[in-house]
C-alpha cells in the first residue's frame, strides 16, 4: 500500500516548486501561455522526473550487470523520446498539426530549450533517486549491523551458557570422584572384616560407575553391558535381602550386537526390586528379554506388595518415556499393566 503521507509530501513539494517557478516567470517575462498549457507541460515534466528515477535508473542499477553504460544509453533514448512527445504536443496545441515543422530552423530555439529543460528534470530526478538509494543503503546497513550485533549477542550468550554448563559439569565430576575414592577406601577397610560387606561396596561402586559413564552424551550401549549391570544390581540386592529375594532372568535370541539407550532397562529392574514383593519363591520377579528379528522385547513382572504405591509417583517411568520418545521417537513403546496382583512393564524397541 502506498504511503499517503509520502504522497502528500510529494504533492506539497511540487506545489511549492511550481508556484515558485511561475512566480519567477511572472515577474521576469510574464505568463503568456494559458493555464491549460502550463498544466499539460508540468504534468509531462513530473512524469519525466518519476519515470527516470523509478524506471530508467532502477532498471539500470538493480537489474543489469553494467549499470552506468545502460543508464547512459537509456537516458539518451529518454531525452529524444520525450522531446518528440513534447514537440508533438506543442504542434497540436499550436495548430500546425505536424511535428516536422517544429524542427525547421526558426524553431530550433524551441527544441534546444526543451532539451535543456529535460536535462534539468533528469538531473533533478537523478539527485532524488540518489538520495533515495542512499537512504535505502543506510537503512539496509542498519538492518545488517543490527542483525550482526544480534548474532554476536547470541553467540556471546551461547558461549556464556557453555562456560556455565562446563563449570557445572566439572563441579559435578568432583562429587563422583570423591564418592568412588570413598567407596574404594571403605572397601579396602571392610573386605577383610566382612567379605559380604566388601563385595556389596564393590558391586555398588561398579553399578554407579556404569551409570555415570554410560549416561555421558546421547549414545547407546550394548545390551549385554546393560544386562551385566542388571546382574550386579540383583547380586547387590541379594546381599541386602539374603535368601528373601527371588528373581528369574530369561534371555532369548541373539543379543550380542544389539544396542540400546543406557540405563533404561536397569531402571525398570531397579523399580521392580524396590517396589515389588520378591520374597516368595513360588512367585519370583521375572525379567525377560528376547530378540525376534529386529524387535527387542523387555519385560519385568512382579507381585505387588500389600501396601503397594506407584514407584515414586511414576516419576521414574515418566522420565523413561521421555527419554524413549526423544531418542527412538515412534520406534519404542512402553506398556504398563497394573493389575490387582501384579505390576508388569513391557518395553518394545524396533532396532
201 shares a domain with 61: no
Give pLDDT, residue 291.
Answer: 93
95 shares a domain with 199: no
343 shares a domain with 203: yes
Quote the number of domains for the chain.
2
| Four-CA torsion 263, 264, 265, 269, nearest 10 degrees | 90
52 shares a domain with 107: yes
Residue 47 belongs to a domain: yes
136 shares a domain with 69: yes
94 shares a domain with 207: no
Residue 273 belongs to a domain: yes
203 shares a domain with 146: no
Residue 37 belongs to a domain: yes
Give pLDDT, residue 125.
Answer: 86
229 shares a domain with 142: no
d(CA 117, CA 29): 17
Final residue of a domain: which of 128, 153, 178?
A: 153
282 shares a domain with 139: no
Tens digits of per-residue pLDDT, 19-55? 877 787 777 767 666 677 778 888 888 888 888 888 8
Tens digits of per-residue pLDDT, 146-171? 777 777 777 777 766 655 555 454 44
Residue 206 belongs to a domain: yes
342 shares a domain with 201: yes
Residues 143, 149, 153: CA angle, nearest 5 degrees: 140
- Predicted TM-score of the model (pTM): 0.49
Residue 103 belongs to a domain: yes
Give pLDDT, residue 109.
Answer: 66
| Residue tagged 534546444 (cell numbers) | 112
Residue 313 belongs to a domain: yes
Give pLDDT, residue 4.
Answer: 81
Closest to 210 in 3D by CA, of 178, 232, 182, 237: 232
Give pLDDT, residue 250.
Answer: 93
Cell of 161: 551458557
Residue 174 belongs to a domain: no
d(CA 13, CA 17): 6
Residue 165 belongs to a domain: no
Give pLDDT, residue 44.
Answer: 85
β partners of residue 342: 303
* 63-96: burial string, b at 16+ Cβ within 10 Å, e else: eeeeeeebbeebbeebbeebbeebbeebbeeeee
* CATH number of the domain encompassing residue 257: 3.30.565.10
Final residue of a domain: which of 127, 153, 179?
A: 153
**Residues contacting residue 224 through CB under 8 Å, at least 6 positions apart:** 255, 256, 258
142 shares a domain with 239: no
- Intervals of the chain under pLDDT 70: 1-2, 29, 31-34, 94-111, 159-192, 194-196, 198, 201, 212-218, 243, 307-315
Quote the domain boundaries for residue 270. Answer: 191-350
Final residue of a domain: which of 153, 182, 209?
A: 153
260 shares a domain with 199: yes
d(CA 297, CA 300): 10
Cα-based distances in Å from 131 to 60, 107, 125: 16, 37, 10
Cα-based distances in Å from 33 to 37, 82, 87, 269: 6, 21, 16, 104
Give pLDDT, residue 174.
Answer: 42
**Residues contacting residue 183 through CB under 8 Å, at least 6 positions apart:** 201, 204, 205, 208
Amino acid at each position: 500500500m502506498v504511503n499517503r503521507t509520502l504522497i502528500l509530501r510529494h504533492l506539497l513539494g511540487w506545489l511549492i516548486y511550481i508556484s515558485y517557478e511561475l512566480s519567477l516567470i511572472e515577474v521576469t517575462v510574464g505568463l503568456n501561455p494559458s493555464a491549460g498549457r502550463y498544466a499539460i507541460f508540468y504534468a509531462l515534466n513530473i512524469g519525466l522526473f518519476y519515470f527516470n528515477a523509478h524506471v530508467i535508473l532502477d532498471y539500470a542499477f538493480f537489474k543489469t550487470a553494467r549499470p552506468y553504460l545502460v543508464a547512459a544509453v537509456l537516458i539518451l533514448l529518454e531525452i529524444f523520446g520525450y522531446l518528440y512527445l513534447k514537440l508533438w504536443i506543442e504542434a497540436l496545441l499550436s495548430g500546425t498539426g505536424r511535428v516536422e515543422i517544429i524542427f525547421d530552423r526558426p524553431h530550433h530555439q524551441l527544441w534546444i530549450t526543451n532539451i535543456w529543460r529535460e536535462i534539468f528534470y533528469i538531473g533533478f530526478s537523478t539527485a532524488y533517486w540518489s538520495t533515495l538509494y542512499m537512504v535505502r543503503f543506510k537503512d539496509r546497513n542498519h538492518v545488517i549491523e543490527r542483525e550482526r550485533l544480534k548474532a554476536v549477542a547470541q553467540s556471546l550468550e551461547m558461549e556464556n551458557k557453555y562456560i556455565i554448563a562446563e563449570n557445572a559439569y566439572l563441579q559435578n565430576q568432583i562429587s563422583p570422584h570423591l564418592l568412588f575414592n570413598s567407596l574404594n577406601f571403605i572397601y579396602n577397610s571392610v573386605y577383610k572384616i566382612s567379605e559380604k560387606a566388601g563385595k556389596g561396596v564393590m558391586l555398588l561402586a561398579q553399578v554407579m560407575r556404569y551409570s555415570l559413564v554410560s549416561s555421558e552424551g546421547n549414545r547407546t550401549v550394548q545390551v549385554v553391558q546393560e544386562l551385566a549391570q542388571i546382574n550386579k544390581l540383583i547380586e547387590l540386592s541379594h546381599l541386602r535381602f539374603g535368601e528373601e529375594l527371588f528373581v528369574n532372568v530369561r534371555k532369548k535370541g541373539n543379543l550380542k550386537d544389539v544396542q540400546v539407550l543406557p540405563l533404561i532397562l536397569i531402571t525398570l529392574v531397579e523399580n521392580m526390586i524396590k517396589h515389588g514383593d520378591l520374597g516368595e519363591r513360588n512367585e519370583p520377579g521375572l525379567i525377560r528379554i528376547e530378540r525376534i528379528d529386529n524387535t527387542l522385547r523387555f519385560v519385568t513382572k512382579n507381585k505387588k506388595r500389600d501396601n503397594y504405591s506407584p514407584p515414586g509417583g511414576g516419576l521414574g517411568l515418566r522420565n523413561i518415556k521421555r527419554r524413549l520418545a526423544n531418542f527412538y521417537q515412534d520406534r519404542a513403546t512402553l506398556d504398563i499393566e497394573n493389575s490387582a496382583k501384579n505390576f508388569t512393564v513391557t518395553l518394545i524397541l524396533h532396532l
